[in-house]
A = this chain, B = another copy of it.
Amino acid sequence: MRNFIAMTDVQNRPYHHGDLRRAIIETALDMLRDDKNWQFTLREVARRAGVSHAAPYKHFPDKAALLVELAMIGFDRLREALAGAKPEAPQSLLEEITPISLAYVAFGTDNPALYRLMFSAEEGRAVGMHLDQRALAVFDVVLDMLGRGQAAGTIRKRPVRGQATAAWALIHGITLLAIDGLLVPEKVGSAPLDAAIATLVDGLAIPQPNT
């Protein structure tokens, strides 16, 4: 790779970029970060990368392929975000659910376009994505947490995949509602996120008689 050469410099630039594939992905991620309002054109990516509009086709068969690539990176980052939110020494296992849930929602609201991308994926391509190991790893975080909770006797004895689905659905749903700006107080009250997580915890935890 030719160091010390700004690839976006239109002047004296080598004919071959050298690392265009990575440059395209990073440029696209930048655009996803900026453009909240979800207009994402391949030509704009090429423009920002300082390259002709057809150049990306040498690295991705079509636009959807690039989007899938970006989405997979999103799953990696989401998994990292959840892992980083897991408390060191959780007092009660249930206390683990709240910070992880908040981290999930925060990831969505911090990266709205990327998060939406991870669940868009036209024509059933989403299925393949979500069965990929990198996406399953996110789900495994939830499965693991609930499984340990069942073993510890704090979480209801139910099929753990069903419980994980409930948690996933609720957090996914409220993340999207938050991204779309739909959690307005006059409709959902003053603390919708906390309330939703509280109800989720109540649905998962074995009720304590004294509380």
| Contact B195 A162, beta carbon cutoff 8 Å | yes
Which of the residues B130, B174, B184, B209 comes within 8 Å of A127, measured between beta carbons?
B184
Q: How far does the Cβ of A195 sit from chain B's closest Cβ, in whole Å?
A: 3
- A119 neighbours in B (Cβ, 8 Å): 176, 180, 182
| Contact B162 A198, beta carbon cutoff 8 Å | yes
A136 within 8 A of partner (CB):
yes
- A131 neighbours in B (Cβ, 8 Å): 184, 186-187
Which residues, 145 to 185 on A, are CB-close (under 8 Å) to B? 156, 158-159, 161-174, 176-177, 180-184
Which of the residues B123, B169, B209 comes within 8 Å of A196, measured between beta carbons?
B169
A42 within 8 A of partner (CB):
no
A40 within 8 A of partner (CB):
no
A200 within 8 A of partner (CB):
yes
A61 within 8 A of partner (CB):
no
Asked if A195 meets B130 with Cβ closer than 8 Å, knowing A37-B122, A119-B180, A187-B136, the reply is no
- A90 neighbours in B (Cβ, 8 Å): none
8 contacts between A and B (CB under 8 A): A162-B195, A162-B199, A165-B177, A165-B192, A169-B169, A169-B174, A173-B174, A209-B209
